[in-house]
Structure 1
Amino acid sequence: MKNLIQYKSNKNVVYSCKYHVVWCPKYRRKVLIDGVDERLKVILQEVAEKLDSEIIEMEIMEDHVHLLVDVDPQFGINKLIKKMKGTSSRLLREEFPWLKSRIPSLWTNSYFVSTVGGATLDTVKLYIENQKNV
């Protein structure tokens, strides 16, 4: 049975805005290892909750991040990703000093984002869940 769309609302909008987001460390370095990956998950979850967004699925690979997120369209996916990347870069580089010597900044300026509309939510969730098995 397929998931029924669950709508959220703010003062002005009823919405269901789900995005598949992917971004990489600078130079696609394999630095999301040795505890950095687990700490990153916690940081991203905290940022999402603080900004009233929901991480539906998340997988941290050694050289990229996959997220399936639900974001208020009035806040915007670009603001969420900017805050996630900025906060995580600052905190991870403080907590894992070896990151500073490996790369000049943690993240690239770019990222991939796609609305989840063409594929079912279950398909995208399964894709993200199975990243480590690919």
Structure 2
Amino acid sequence: MEKNGNIAFDCKYHVVWCTKYRRRVLSSEIEVALKQIVSDVCEERNATILEMEGDGDHFHLLVAVDPQYRIHRLVKQIKGRSIVGS
């Protein structure tokens, strides 16, 4: 349980990204780069990564985020950084 101002929260989100048509394009090099990008963005946004795992055609992220920041903002930041970084 974490606290922020006047609230106590325990928000965990399971986010999954899938490649188009579930093609197996996430090679080990791409997966390492993607994990680094996700780690950097989560660190900047004070989100805690609980689990992070990739497979050839999808990527799982279990993350704890302040509810006032909202999960969609974090996902948008990660997706934006990963597209520019490629």
State the 1:34 CA deviation: 4.0
Match of 2:29 in 1: 35
Amino acid paired to 1:60: G
State the 1:80 CA deviation: 0.8
Match of 1:78 in 2: 72
Output the TM-score relative to the length of structure 1: 0.60
Match of 2:41 in 1: 47
State the 1:28 CA deviation: 2.6
Match of 1:67 in 2: 61
Q: Taking every aligned residue pair, what percent have the same amino acid on both sides?
A: 48
**Cα deviations by residue, 1:51-75 (Å, 9 ceiling, x for unpaired):** 0101100101111110111010011
Equivalent-residue separation in structure 2 for 1:87 and 1:27 (angstroms): 22
Point out the structure with the larger strand share: 2
Structure 1 consecutive aligned stretches of length 4 or more whose deviation exceeds 3 Å: none
Match of 1:16 in 2: 10
State the 1:47 CA deviation: 0.4
| Secondary structure in structure 1 of the residue aligned to 2:15 | strand
Number of residue pairs matched? Answer: 86
Amino acid paired to 1:78: H
- The CA RMSD measured in Å over matched residues stands at 1.3
Output the TM-score relative to the length of structure 2: 0.90
